[in-house]
Structure 1
């Protein structure tokens, strides 16, 4: 079977901590829509590599704290950059909640007054989140682990007209946004810790 070309998803990551990484979105719902995800558990001599956590209850207290601290830490910079009045911060905790890739992730979506009026109102963001394509966290790990298949980890088919307007962005565009966000975070005194994500953990 043909294999889909691997994407350089590491270039989409703009912030890392010992337990978490943040990346730009393949098809953002609104400008500034990012994803924050827990890292894989590291492989040890006594245990093989663990799959990425897919549920909030699979995180340790330390991982949970780091995940939500990262959300809180990044939102002031996003507020400044996108003139945000508020945020949607959402987790689809399991397939029945609309999770389309088996890796826990937090959607952080800057909001402005009236930004969804043309698409049916502010609460429509939840409907689009549940049924739309939401970013390619799975591809990050498949590409890193050399497991990118022909379907790229088949996500749910899109059914919203508004979603069809959200075209996948190029690697170059996402890499540029990631570099810009990294620079702006550093301007605000927010630095990544050494990126465990690049060392295979």
Structure 2
């Protein structure tokens, strides 16, 4: 879908982008908390919500609005957790504004708010995982060994993420065509 390189903070996510506007993008998540857990970000790498332009904020909100409708339909859910962790002290693990869209069903967690605990736990820390992955690759290139801590929720493969990217991109195209 994406034609030029696209970044989520310092990480290239070009092949995980399933929807893109002039100012925003939606990407599949390498470590979804639940099936269909995606992120919406401004295209410009900006760390904090308050640092976005008014135009970026408006486009971001409209993108979240559009994507959540498609995600709920595709994953057959009855609700969504829509969350922004704005800054490191709020649990933001990658210094790039991103809205989590997590499709929800009744009783998918023991407590409704357990999703926030997951987002803030080691298994929800995508930034830490991506940094470790980047470090592992650098060390492999130098023919050294690195022990990486095991995390409960395994990351998806690039193939799995690209498959979901194609599915969701197609669904958003259908959504756009139905509005014409």
TM interval, short-chain normalised: 0.7 to 0.9
Structure 1 residues 105-116: aligned runs within 5 Å: 105-116=98-109
Structure 1 residue ranges (4+ consecutive) displaced by more than 6 angstroms after TM superposition: none
Question: CA contact under 8 A between 2:19 and 2:26: conserved in structure 1?
Answer: yes
Cα distance in 2, alignment partners of residues 27 and 84 from structure 1: 19
Cα distance in 1, alignment partners of residues 66 and 172 from structure 2: 10
Deviations 1:103-139 (A, max 9, x none): 110000000001113xxx2210001112233546x96
Equivalent of 2:117 in 124, 127, 135: 127
RCO (CA 8 Å, sep 6+): is it higher in 1 or 2? 1
Deviations 1:34-82 (A, max 9, x none): 0011112xxxxxxxxxxx2111110010000000110001111111111
Cα distance in 1, alignment partners of residues 90 and 13 from structure 2: 25
> What is the RMSD of the two structures over their aligned residues, measured on CA atoms?
2.7
Q: Match for residue 186 of structure 1? A: 173
Equivalent of 2:30 in 22, 26, 29: 26
Q: Determine whether 1:175 maps to 2:165.
A: no
Query: Which segment is superposed worse, 103-112 or 78-87?
Result: 78-87
Q: Match for residue 57 of structure 1? A: 50
Structure number with the higher helix fraction is: 2
Offset at residue 17 of structure 1 (A): 0.5
Offset at residue 12 of structure 1 (A): 0.6
Cα distance in 2, alignment partners of residues 125 and 158 from structure 1: 22
Q: Match for residue 143 of structure 2? A: none
Cα distance in 2, alignment partners of residues 87 and 77 from structure 1: 11
Deviations 1:161-182 (A, max 9, x none): xx61x21000011001000100
Cα distance in 1, alignment partners of residues 43 and 81 from structure 2: 22
Normalising by structure 2, what TM-score?
0.77
Question: CA contact under 8 A between 1:88 and 1:107: conserved in structure 2?
Answer: yes
